Amino acid sequence: AAGVIQSPRHLIKEKRETATLKCYPIPRHDTVYWYQQGPGQDPQFLISFYEKMQSDKGSIPDRFSAQQFSDYHSELNMSSLELGDSALYFCASSLERGNRDTEAFFGQGTRLTVV
């Protein structure tokens, strides 16, 4: 079965550079979530989109922005990177419409290292 695809799997950037992470949800899923997991930390919710509209916002820095496109894939844009942005970034997708007991399926994550 198709899963959530994230690219790239690994990314190394220098401080103050910009990074773009991509997420391709499971086909027909209408909701995408972004999480950040720092070293030895639990995943923290950043932002989510339902039907291409932002549906919820968590602890996402102002330097970060995200959007969901017409084909439902999502991109997380990160500017002015800081060392503290080094983390594993997860994307998850789910089917929310008409689905009460839904669950989120996670991608393998993108490991971002800022040097």
Interacting residues toward other proteins by CB under 8 A: 31, 33, 35, 41-45, 48, 50, 55-56, 58, 90, 92, 94, 96, 100-109, 111
Give the nearest distance from C-beta 80 to other proteins in angstroms. Answer: 26
**Is the bond leading into 8 cis (omega within 30 degrees of zero)?**
yes
The nearer residue to other proteins, 18 or 58, going by C-beta atoms, is: 58
In the complex with other proteins, the residue whose CB is nearer, 19 or 109, is 109
Residue 87 Cα to chain centre, angstroms: 12
> In the complex with other proteins, which residue's Cβ is closer, 5 or 79?
5
Name 86's Cβ contacts closer than 8 Å, sequence gap at least 6. Answer: 38, 39, 112, 113, 114
CB of 115 to other proteins, least distance (A): 19
User: H/E element holding 42?
Assistant: none
